[in-house]
Structure 1
Amino acid sequence: MASGFSGGYSDFSISGSMNTRSVNDPRRPYMSNLAGMDSDVSSQMFNRRPEPTGKRSLSEFQQHFQQQQQLALYLRNVKQRASYQQNASPISPLSPPVDFYGHSQSPDISSLSSNSAYRIPIFQQLRQHQQQQQQRQQHQHVNNMILSAKPEAPAEKNMMHRLQELEKALLDDDEDQNDVVAATSVVTNSEWSDTIQRLIGTDHTTVSPSPASSSSSCSSPSIICAKQSLTEAATAISEGKLDIANEILTRVSKVSNKQGTAEERLMAYMCSALKTRLNQTENPQDLYGKDHMASIQMLYEVSPCFKLGFMAANLAILEALPDDENNVNLHVIDFDIGQAGQYIHLLHALAAKRTANRVIALKITTFLDYATDLKAVGDGLKVLASKVGVNLSFRVMNLNINDLNIGSFGLEVGEILAVNFAFRLYKLPDESVSTENLRDELLRRVKNLSPKVVTLVEQEMNANTASFVARVNETCGYYGALFESLDATVPRNKPERVKIEEGLSRKMSNSVACEGRDRVERCEVLGKWRARMRMAGFEEKRLSQKLGESLRVKLNSGTRVNPGFTIKEEAGGISFGWMGRTLTVASAWR
């Protein structure tokens, strides 16, 4: 919906504090007592002579296991990210022995040791033949210690299984689909000891692994485990295992909270969305109600990522205006004007270009929307236009897409035509839904109008033709970042915040709970929009550097600037995001 914000041209500020608890922060370093480890410590671990194998006390086993765990995490910390993504799983004291000369005793790790990215100082220090042999002995000692456990004792076997689960929880990366962020859990000595005791104990509350997958394991009711469980629930739903999916969602709901942190709120709404799909109770009409429209308007007003997207569209329209003409007649066709917040900013910007010898007129054409009182919207814009000295004409049409042509709009000679698509096209069905393909059909008909500029603003989210499970993961990642950004702009105790997130929950539910024509939320990424625009005959219109600088000034104009919000110019468009995750993208076409 192409609406934005209330207030004037200079009424843009951002308040709030940065949410430093985000696991999606790409700058988050590995911080713990391991930060002080150096080669001497690692050498001491490797040079320690193995003790005779045999039964050990629990405290000795914990101490030994802790040392191995710290070493594994330290080695993992110095590895380059790109190499990790292409090779085997993290080094673990429970993994097969590996030497760092380039030889491996496991075919799964052979490619890892040959990668030049791993030749870093710590490995150069281990090239001595004696250290190689000591390392092999150390691994062999760990294996012997594990084998020495009594296999027939259920308690010891259970303990070892839980230790392996803990190892996986500590070492496995939690990555989103864009492969942008890696978050690793690091524990202190006391935390490690406490965790071991809880694992060995018989009374503990966890989010249990899904019955549908034996590879998952969670040692605590953490958000990471809850996100993994949501994926498993989606997989169970896609495979028709509804009882298993319902059981998983019941457990996830215990660690979610609509009044909690951003992660807890996300889990609550995602869990509700998947339950809606299970029960088949989703109503697509919820996206067209007045309550939903009002909540989305609030989002446009408080979220810099959406607000700046509207501003970028306005600035692209202004760049299309001639500088040497005394009479400027601008005609903007907007297919979803909403509350017209975007045009409050545009009217102020046009007024700034007006001079004593220069007359600027603005004509806005929009389309009937039963959820919005467009007459009241038009009247409000006319009052503002008269105050700032801009001649405004406001018209509402009721046309079918197939009836759109030059004659239907009554275009006049000398008019500069601009078409604005701000959060509109993603609601139209494409070829995956119907052979009519209204999404591409509208673009072709707009191209026939020969506009001077077409502005496109969309959510950067791959949720159109993606599979159900992939769509669940994408929805979880996108709205997780959006929820975190709201923490930095709207106090949690404000009623507006609750209404905004209720609106977002309806969008999430429609994206994952509906299929076919009932799924209105069909967002795509800029790459796919670029392909559609080019197939319709449009060419990219590069946004000027001045436009990007102007938006950065707006972003930083608040009294409490939050560095979590980002602006980036790329591939002919300009993106707005939170902590490295792009949320909206604006682009211009001709």
Structure 2
Amino acid sequence: MQFTHTAPPPPPLHPNGHGLGLGLYLDVGATRGGGGARPWSSSSSTTTLGGSGYFPSSAAASKISLGNLNSTGCMEQLLVHCANAIEANDATLTQQILWVLNNIAPADGDSNQRLTAAFLCALVSRASRTGACKAVTAAVADAVESAALHVHRFTAVELASFIDLTPWHRFGYTAANAAIVEAVEGFPVVHIVDLSTTHCMQIPTLIDMLAGRAEGPPILRLTVADVAPSAPPPALDMPYEELGAKLVNFARSRNMSMDFRVVPTSPADALTSLVDQLRVQQLVSDGGEALVVNCHMLLHTVPDETAGSVSLTTAQPPVSLRTMLLKSLRALDPTLVVVVDEDADFTAGDVVGRLRAAFNFLWIPYDAVDTFLPKGSEQRRWYEAEVGWKVENVLAQEGVERVERQEDRTRWGQRMRAAGFRAAAFGEEAAGEVKAMLNDHAAGWGMKREDDDLVLTWKGHNVVFASAWAPS
């Protein structure tokens, strides 16, 4: 991107000889594995909270210490039991498990402890919204407050540098830009609709690439979706009008004419105002324009079937807002649609299902950050605050407030085909550019092809996918 310029925890209700309020027997044999296996397996774990339900015998309790619980598999199981206790409004059990978690998962610990601390904060947030558990969470609020991370508001320069630290976003930028430049070759006018959570940080590199076309630069039209105040992090401390002026000036410096337009819209209504604006623009277009819809980490914020459905006509069955948006985009007959998102599934209707899915995916950013940001650094606090925001949204929010509704690569492919798109495979040039970009980062990052898509991996685990689509 180019721009100028802790209080102690409450005592347990039933302390044992080790000062542990909750005796647990957790036979969790799975540990972090290599290759494509999950880092830990929930299904292979056997967990018992006492022979009669939640509480163990005194003999079992006497053998438990906090150290016995300080493993990733045990932490996940404790979080699951805590979530179940919250859902059951069991204030006593909730308090006990929260106390244990607060002691074994310091917010400044190793990557697994910091991951667990983020989930602990999210569960406290969820419990504070329920009836019987409000008093309990008030008792541990001070202890958890020290782990609470607040999302930073970036300047444009800060955000550009921040994004360059990791391929989490750069992977999608690189793959998408290569596909876009190939798709719009020969078009005198290129209209990019940027559905992104990263505030146009992808666009300067795309401008550079288009400016270097053999046939000369096109006229560039950029329409940006402004989804504030519901937008997930990162947050930009700059009005879009000012950001647009900087982009227009940058394009001018590359001898490219550019028009910038921002459209306030909302994922909660399938970006209806944006789609309506695009329809109007098409009516007055002179033709010869390549329309490209660039979807970067934003589509998953549009409600899926678990959030309800709408009826488009009386003759058709109800559909989700997510399906409605994709069909609306297909009706615009775009030259290309690029979908970049996290290869995870956070759509489970129950909080425990979402907790397990998120815990077994979001270990990746906590593990990876150790390779590029020192402990205690300001940028690391910003980075982990964004992950913590995601965890809190997945676990503590419901309804339209829960915008972290990721679906995996396969499900997005099914949706795109059902909406009338066909896959457009990435060429060798795009794959080569992604591989070259990954050379700037730690050895744990990799890339692979799955069907027609490119997939970013961390230590062999899928992280982010990039897919390209054309009307079928």
Instruction: Give the TM-score of the pair, scaled to structure 2.
Output: 0.74
State whether residues 482 and 583 of structure 1, in contact with CA within 8 Å, keep that contact through their aligned partners in structure 2.
Answer: no
From 98, 113, 124, give the equivalent of 1:275: 124
3-state SS of 2:189 partner:
strand
Report the more deviating stretch, 330-339 or 413-422: 330-339
Q: Does 1:418 align with 2:298?
A: no
> Cα distance 1:333–1:475, how it changes in 2: closer, same or farther (>3 A)?
same
Q: Which residue of 1 aligns with 2:259?
A: 393
Q: Which residue of 2 aligns with 1:321?
A: 184
Q: Does 1:490 align with 2:338?
A: no
Q: Does 1:475 align with 2:358?
A: yes
Q: Which residue of 2 aligns with 1:539?
A: 422
Q: Which residue of 1 aligns with 2:174?
A: 311
Amino acid at match of 1:342: Q
Determine the C-alpha separation between the residues in 1 that align with 2:101 and 2:373.
Answer: 26
> Cα distance 1:336–1:535, how it changes in 2: closer, same or farther (>3 A)?
same
Q: Which residue of 2 aligns with 1:180?
A: 37
Q: Which residue of 2 aligns with 1:90?
A: none
Determine the C-alpha separation between the residues in 2 that align with 1:501 and 1:174.
Answer: 23
Structure 1 residue 392, shift from structure 2 partner? 1.3
Structure 1 residue 587, shift from structure 2 partner? 0.5
3-state SS of 1:220 partner:
helix
Report the more deviating stretch, 570-579 or 219-228: 219-228
State whether residues 541 and 572 of structure 1, in contact with CA within 8 Å, keep that contact through their aligned partners in structure 2.
Answer: yes
State whether residues 172 and 340 of structure 2, in contact with CA within 8 Å, keep that contact through their aligned partners in structure 1.
Answer: yes
State whether residues 290 and 335 of structure 2, in contact with CA within 8 Å, keep that contact through their aligned partners in structure 1.
Answer: yes
Q: Does 1:581 align with 2:429?
A: no
Q: Does 1:263 align with 2:112?
A: yes
Q: Does 1:451 align with 2:309?
A: no
Q: Which residue of 2 aligns with 1:351?
A: 211
Determine the C-alpha separation between the residues in 2 that align with 1:567 and 1:535.
Answer: 27
Determine the C-alpha separation between the residues in 1 that align with 2:175 and 2:110.
Answer: 31
3-state SS of 1:577 partner:
strand
Amino acid at match of 1:570: E
Q: What CA deviation, in whole Å up to 9, does each residue of 1:371-403 have, x standing for no partner?
A: 651111111111211222222111123466163
Determine the C-alpha separation between the residues in 1 that align with 2:116 and 2:39.
Answer: 20
Determine the C-alpha separation between the residues in 1 that align with 2:227 and 2:412.
Answer: 25
How many residue pairs were aligned? 391
Amino acid at match of 1:317: I
3-state SS of 2:442 partner:
coil
Amino acid at match of 1:534: R
Q: Which residue of 2 aligns with 1:233?
A: 82
Q: Does 1:568 align with 2:448?
A: yes
Q: Which residue of 1 aligns with 2:241?
A: 375
Structure 1 residue 242, shift from structure 2 partner? 4.0
Amino acid at match of 1:385: A
Q: Which residue of 1 aligns with 2:313?
A: none
> Cα distance 1:182–1:406, how it changes in 2: closer, same or farther (>3 A)?
closer
3-state SS of 2:355 partner:
helix
> Cα distance 1:181–1:506, how it changes in 2: closer, same or farther (>3 A)?
closer
Q: Which residue of 1 aligns with 2:9?
A: none
Determine the C-alpha separation between the residues in 1 that align with 2:387 and 2:154.
Answer: 11
* Larger-gyration structure (1/2): 1
Q: Which residue of 2 aligns with 1:552?
A: 435
Structure 1 residue 475, shift from structure 2 partner? 1.1
3-state SS of 1:522 partner:
coil
Structure 1 residue 404, shift from structure 2 partner? 5.0
Structure 1 or 2: more strand by fraction? 2
3-state SS of 2:258 partner:
strand
Q: Which residue of 1 aligns with 2:16?
A: none
Amino acid at match of 2:216: R
Determine the C-alpha separation between the residues in 1 that align with 2:349 and 2:259.
Answer: 42
Matches within 5 A, 1:93-112: none
Amino acid at match of 1:423: M
Q: Which residue of 2 aligns with 1:87?
A: none
3-state SS of 1:308 partner:
helix
State whether residues 297 and 339 of structure 1, in contact with CA within 8 Å, keep that contact through their aligned partners in structure 2.
Answer: no
Determine the C-alpha separation between the residues in 1 that align with 2:401 and 2:242.
Answer: 30
State whether residues 333 and 418 of structure 1, in contact with CA within 8 Å, keep that contact through their aligned partners in structure 2.
Answer: yes
From 525, 528, 536, give the equivalent of 2:411: 528
Structure 1 residue 487, shift from structure 2 partner? 1.4
Structure 1 residue 562, shift from structure 2 partner? 1.8
State whether residues 211 and 217 of structure 2, in contact with CA within 8 Å, keep that contact through their aligned partners in structure 1.
Answer: no
State whether residues 335 and 424 of structure 1, in contact with CA within 8 Å, keep that contact through their aligned partners in structure 2.
Answer: yes
3-state SS of 1:419 partner:
strand
Structure 1 residue 370, shift from structure 2 partner? 4.6
Q: Which residue of 2 aligns with 1:223?
A: 71
Q: Which residue of 2 aligns with 1:302?
A: 165
Higher-RCO chain (CA-CA 8 Å, sequence separation at least 6): 1
3-state SS of 2:448 partner:
strand
> Cα distance 1:252–1:397, how it changes in 2: closer, same or farther (>3 A)?
closer
3-state SS of 2:220 partner:
strand
Amino acid at match of 1:231: V
Determine the C-alpha separation between the residues in 1 that align with 2:447 and 2:121.
Answer: 32
Structure 1 residue 347, shift from structure 2 partner? 0.9
> Cα distance 1:301–1:6, how it changes in 2: closer, same or farther (>3 A)?
farther
Q: Which runs of no fewer than 5 residues in structure 1 stay unpaired?
A: 9-161, 185-207, 283-288
Amino acid at match of 1:417: L
State whether residues 425 and 468 of structure 2, in contact with CA within 8 Å, keep that contact through their aligned partners in structure 1.
Answer: yes
Structure 1 or 2: more helix by fraction? 1
